[in-house]
Structure 1
Amino acid sequence: MAHPKRRKSYSKKMMGRSHHALKQKPFAECTNCGEIARPHHVCQSCGYYNGRQILEIRTDEVSE
């Protein structure tokens, strides 16, 4: 098995991990209802994607 010849310095180690940080997920405004939704995903509040209704969103009404 191969072994490193020299110890990696702290700065080189951290530079190698520079892309490991968590990135914020992108959000866009739904063109139908205006709510915040993920791009290229069906809107969870209205069920529309690309101007067409994909999901039938039901609202659970509480009857007393």
Structure 2
Amino acid sequence: MTDTPQWFKSSYSNNGGACVEVATNLLPAHGIIPVRDSKHRAGSVLELRADAFASFVTGIKADRLGTL
């Protein structure tokens, strides 16, 4: 197990510029799933608990998050 995030984008990403990357490899040891903007990889990282990440994904699938 490594403490270095192993980032990936969803296979559903169509490279339209509105992508996030996640690193699920930290969940077992740290209980978090880091999330970052794929266009700003050196920028801020959100560290979400598993339940918060599940809610985030559910919101995306249901198109309930809107846009900024």
Higher relative contact order (CA 8 A, sep 6+): 2
Name the structure where helix makes up a greater proportion of residues.
Answer: 2
Tell me the TM-score normalized by structure 1: 0.27
Richer in strand (by share): 2
